[in-house]
Amino acid sequence: RTFYTLVMVDPDAPSPSDPNLREYLHWLVTDIPGTTGASFGQEVMCYESPRPTMGIHRFVLVLFQQLGRQTVYAPGWRQNFNTRDF
């Protein structure tokens, strides 16, 4: 059985000209079964609606295929999340 992890980040937080909170984590869901949607996964960080305060922001959704079920712990904070290191 195939499982996925969904990560949603804002690489432009708090502003595109000074993204010192890059990347801001908006959502993290693991163990999403390949036959269903994100609502059937394990929500590690609950969804936080984008609220760009300055300029135009990019919002990036990345879907990772897992090798099996995984235990993922919530990061201590949402700002300065690193998708590449994750």
What's residue 38's pLDDT?
79
Structure tokens at 34: 């390949």
User: Does pTM surpass 0.75?
Assistant: yes
Phi then psi for residue 16, to 5 deg, are: -60, -30
- The dihedral over CA atoms of 43, 46, 47, 52, expressed in degrees to the nearest 10, equals -140
What is the C-alpha to C-alpha distance for residues 10 and 13, in angstroms, rounded to an integer? 6
Domains of the chain: 3-65 (3.90.280.10)
> What is the mean pLDDT of the segment spanning 8-25?
94
pLDDT by residue (tens digit) across 71-84? 999 999 999 999 99
What's residue 26's pLDDT?
98
Rg (CA), the chain: 13
Using a 10 angstrom Cβ sphere, with 0-12 exposed, 13-18 middle and 19 or more buried, the burial of residue 38 is middle
pLDDT by residue (tens digit) across 18-62? 999 999 999 999 999 999 887 899 999 999 999 867 888 999 999
